Structure 1
């Protein structure tokens, strides 16, 4: 590809510092990575670029996000990167970075997804404003090999335009008013082409990289830029890397780098790659000259001396010395190369330097760095001379030829232009005895200017400058006034006879300037000026104070204060932390050292007697490009005015402060509002704010608390409390993830109380607005009770709810808390004290306290405490109090019986108007106790709406029964829910009801309720837990089967079970279930009186088991029903045998529905004759009994031993004869039969 090949040829070599003369070097051999950071202010930085470098050198790299040059267009988190703006001061390496980027692409190393890269330097496009052309025409002029290329084809090519040197562009770039252009083939002015390209109207998918000096960055609107980067030049590591690449000789490298590091100003300037090159050039030449001189003079010992040790007057330590040496060496080099001169002295071309100096000075005043023919001609330089200059001083003034522009000129670096301008000012003064700042038309034309006059004039002009654009010019001007530096320019500058006197005068003049109220930046530059004059007196004074540690008591002059700032800022040690107390606790000290604070990460200004005066200075710091991340202003009387001033800095978008401490600063609501407003304006940086010990009122706290709801606010710690209280807040935040001061409710249940002292400190603080405190299940001790009550007594007005349930409060703890309840300011409305191990004694203390202060309490929970009737009686005294407004009272599981219920009922009758909910679950009052309370509901004065004896499930059952039967089951002895299909949920609810102590049911009838084996298990499990009341259970008609019967057996074997009647008719039981049942009844046989197993297929073994049960002498069964059990002869034998062996208890036997043949039935009739057989009722309905069977029956009935009183034979085929014989027997005086059922009627015995 021709484009890549041509770009590779063009960019593979670099002329370090020069434009066209000398030997070129392969870029890859000398290239050193630059420190590039993401982001940067979008505002114009008008500060002198050398001052920016000095500030950058002190900036902490950890604050910034580093970007690799090759990854400029790597997509960000939220969007793709299409347009990048890279800022950097002159000579920092912007163009070299562009060159390296293009070369890596052209060599196939990086960014190969890009199809075409078009580098378009602004300086080469400057003179195209009058010619209209299309974008494709412009590209073709720069890159002829692209002719015929169709870039407009959508998404076919990925293209990158590199627009290098925006600051050198002389067209306005009118983004607002320029016409919109979308066609790459449509001609337009260069300004229109570029604005539409940058906006994305032309080639919307194209990538764009713009480089510029900071002052010109604002030419591009922010909405056109996706990412801003800044080239910071070399960091400290990269400086060393540069010199190591430049000097392969290790000794030479170490000597040079050591010299540069020891000179702070030189080391700072080495952030600029061009200055590294200048320094390397100068110091290498000095070393080579010394080595050559020593060899000539056979001074081998001197040859080993370092730059610092030998000929110190010749080794540059200041900027002026470095640039003077550089100028000398470059002119000497050019003389040797072009004229063959090898003399140690320099042959100066004064006219040439005057012309060049005039150009440098005039363009410096106009802030221009690129010059064209017209600029040169205005200074009397023709094009030929310009070429001569660039040939003579290739390292100082350079000539470049653009592809379409022609020739342009510039100095290698802005600082060289400023040095030449300063040199011109001295030459002008030498020749004309005038200042370069005095125009011909002024009255001072005839007056001779002295060097001192010139220096004073420039000092004043530099101090008047807002952006410091003359700062470096002033340094060079002062440095060139020294005799030692002028000696280096011998033959060019005249030697001043009064040089020493001039130096003293200007030094004194500069020191006097410190008395004025200078900005820190201007003061610091004056110290750099004194450094150029080799005056260290002020600095040494301060260093003496610092070493003695006497600054806190010393009275310093303004000059000394400025010296202090300079020393601290130029110290080799990083100023991570600034502590004002080490200097002087005053507003003046803070204001004087504000530049040091600006350079520090942490400023400790607490306890320094500061006022709102300091806040104004700090606001300026916060609104600037500062390193400051943490500011501590604790214990200063700033008040609201001071905080408001501070907020003007906080609200500035440049402020990146993360931690601000303002505890005990006398701030009120007004100050809090100002802080909240500032943080809303700039919410993204501050993460911690300490306002402990101020008195903002509720609205002040709310102003800042509401701020935390702002999704843009990054505030993580908002501290209003003292140390202990704040620790409690942090603990709560760590455990619950919430700020305690923003909570109305605090729940520390089951979390332990190791920090109760800290929590108490929060509760008594005026910032605390906690309404609800939950400490249930905590290991609270008696000592904890004292701490907590003391805190709440000191600030009792906010807390309305206290939950100490599940703690070991006991009676002693309750007595301690009762002192709080007596406090008239106590606002507690709800108390949760369930399961706290109190008894009657604790109840008495509680009731007594609230009887003296009863008006606030509306809810009291004392459940699961063994209060007993005596404790409830104490509570009843409170309920009876006419001032008591208690609405909810919970006394579940408190061991209350009928007596306690009566006390409650009596109290509520005497004061019935407030209580609306009463919970008495889990007590055992008997039905009379329940009735005492339920009767209250009939009282028209009673407002009780919720009366709870049961748990939720049991209560549901209760409501269901009331709905079905219209009666409260708690007042019933018998519950019949037959023929209601209950289901799992309802059975569970009924089970809960049966389990409750309030339930006194004797009889439970659930016939035909579709109860399953599972539900049977639920019921029997429940009845096992409360078995003593139930006497009768009827589960007939439910298909519980053998498994269900077995569950029932678990109940029957319980010795607490007092079951007397059990009916399991039609339950699908077989011999297996019957075996389990009879076994259970044999193990606990003494209570059961009635058993109905009718309509079950019991089988032989089933009847055998029943028979064995009947034989048991402990069996007290009186009623046995075995209807429709398909009794066979063998089973009859079992039954009659059992009745014969233990005949005395059974009083009723029902065998209806079984086919009893002649032999089977006669065996039963024989038993009736036995006197021990006490059977009184016999039911043989539908048993297939014939007339012939009646004779045996009548015989038995005539027997004196028969006890039978009732006989049922309906449904049998007795015939007329059988019926007559049976009726006749009733007339027999020995017959005891009272009822005879033959059809559907009863035959009543006739008394004879």
Structure 2
């Protein structure tokens, strides 16, 4: 293998089933020569024990290219971490990222890792110990390492580690240390509580604190904790730019307190996650005030899963239309909003100070076609800067598609990504959308239509759009629609056209048979084909289908980089066809996914041989 082919090694690619022989200490040992040349090693959920850690320790010292090791969901245990730690302290070890999530670790492991952090040879900048029963005493040990002059750690993840408010005192001390390098701390799903938040804030507002990202999802924080956080945000030493308080019972009173911090000139917060925080329209009023502040730095706000209702969105929109508002991303999934929210949102999009670029309205069932019609008025406005719009599961039909097509044809349209998945779009809706895709003003690059009742006729409508000399789409997702072979035949005529710029095509579960493979092969052979990624997962292609597909893969015009054929009823014969195609055209395919096909070893070995040969570009083989 060449150096490029060894940027990443994933043991899971060599055995999909959890009990596969490849997913074991013995399986890893057989692959050590490959691991010893890899830059990033993924050993996720591979049934590994301390036996593997002994072997990996030698690799950490000998492989100077290895900078990331992912070991989560393995029974490594404290003894395994002890073995790894001796290598991490070695002067030849260059590892920067270590993931030990859910590895059956206790306080002992933290003792070994604390020694690593103090070592003058340690290169570690990121450590994930999430989902281990560490408890407070263990993290107290780690905190002493964080305060050491040799420590270079910037990211520490401690999700669901059985921690309480007690540990916050030690962590705050580490943040106050003049040697502190920590920039991101994740304490998600620990019992931090308001008292812990108060302790932690004494570190956040210290002059030595360099923390930029703090994740406190599900930490039992209430309005009292928000008071402490607001105080930290107001501090002239505050460097926090990202804060996640999702799944905490903050309520409107908590958000009101938090907003006082957001409005302060010293606050640098850019990303605020408040998913499922029991916020109503009153909380939206406080947030709107924060958005209107002339010192507001907020760029992203996520309010998913809160009972905002239309009144909440109306309140929020008063902030969105303000000249001081700099918000670019707004998440309003599952917020119980209806068409009545769409007019104020459209007003926000059309405001001459509008900065919104991404809007998520997923699973707001009351929006419907009339709501989309109102929203489209904003999309067509000259001031609108929106580039991404997610409308999954909003009960949109062909009538809503008509409004969106009109927006796409507007000379003011900036929309680049549109997700209409889980709506009853149907063929008639696709026909209408296609008129928008063909228009000279349309700039759309990605369109998702998963579970949209799309059938054979849509293949013709989309193919027509593909042939337009104004066609800009780069990615199309038609997963889980009954296109069938006839739909694929019609779609392929457009894929072969010189104007078609499509690079990524997702066709998961589209009821294809071997016939579709013939049409796809024709598209891949076309001298105008630009497809680089093709997903055909969960289709009844069979060996005969892959044989037909291989005719396209072996052609010099084929530019396919990634091919996913998971769960396509393949056998060893398909491996033979694919190996033959790769030998004919070695310059293209890099990733091949054949999982859930029950392939036997002889078939896999045909492809594995090509993966190991530097002549071929195949770097990732999953089976």
Superposition TM-score tier, normalisation by shorter sequence = 0.3 to 0.5
Comparing both chains, which one has the higher relative contact order based on Cα–Cα distances under 8 Å and sequence gaps of 6 or more?
A: 2
Give the structure with the larger helix fraction. 1
